[in-house]
Structure 1
Amino acid sequence: MHDNRPHALTPDSLPETITRYLKAHRAHDIATAITAFTSDATVTDDGTTYEGTAAIEQWLSRSASEFTYTIELTGAQQTDATHYSATHHLEGDFPGGTIDLHYRFTLRDHLIEQLVIAP
């Protein structure tokens, strides 16, 4: 019997693909960030879904330039072999100034197939 409740991980024990994406995203390194996704990946951010690497690349470019903020990885969880989440605390010049965002990852073949970002 499998226990499908999320369990806490240390942020540095997240899969390499997720860590690579998060570090590249933080550094605004879009070329590296995009290598973490499958070709048919989807990203849902702020209620909008971006499908495929070209759309995700545009989303990454826009999110890198829209606001100035600091981002700190404050927690990580694993639900099962392919589902992970990472919690980030952001502070910056966006509306509200601070927010905790949950990045929910679904992996396929060691790449990110789906990423959902929501408070």
Structure 2
Amino acid sequence: MDDLTLPAAIAAFITATNAADSDQFVAQFTPDAVLDDWGTTYNGPTEIAKWNQTDNIGKQSHFELEDFTQDNAMTWTVQLNVTGNGFNGTSPFRMTIKDDLLVRVEILPD
């Protein structure tokens, strides 16, 4: 990794997942946020909280940061190694920040 610093909302997305803190996880998203998991979209904190229970913390996911790049002023691509009782493997997450919160998270097929 280079000298870039990961935005606080992205760091909290990872640490909240690893700590199984669902409230903190959902708190990282704006009210109009979108989470796109390989083409299935979840709109707003209520739907993102459901995804969190069915596909993330509810599956005891653990994220290990592999690498990250800053794509533009607001968007980052973060390579996460995911382990748990759901998806296991490395996947790129494209994350867009607005007002220090996540406005869009797109989980891309590797």
TM-score range normalised by the length of the shorter chain: 0.7 to 0.9
| Pairs within 5 Å for 1:20-99 | 20-63=12-55, 64-66=57-59, 68=60, 70-94=62-86, 98-99=88-89
Show structure 1 runs of 5+ residues with no match: 1-7
* Alignment TM-score, normalising by the size of structure 1: 0.79
Aligned residues: 108
Show structure 2 runs of 5+ residues with no match: none
| Structure 1 residue ranges (4+ consecutive) displaced by more than 2 angstroms after TM superposition | 8-11, 68-71, 90-95
Q: RMSD of the TM alignment (CA)? A: 2.0
Shift of 1:93: 4.9
Partner residue of 2:93 out of 103, 110, 119: 103
* Alignment TM-score, normalising by the size of structure 2: 0.85
Shift of 1:81: 1.3
Q: Which has the higher strand share?
A: 1
Identity %: 26
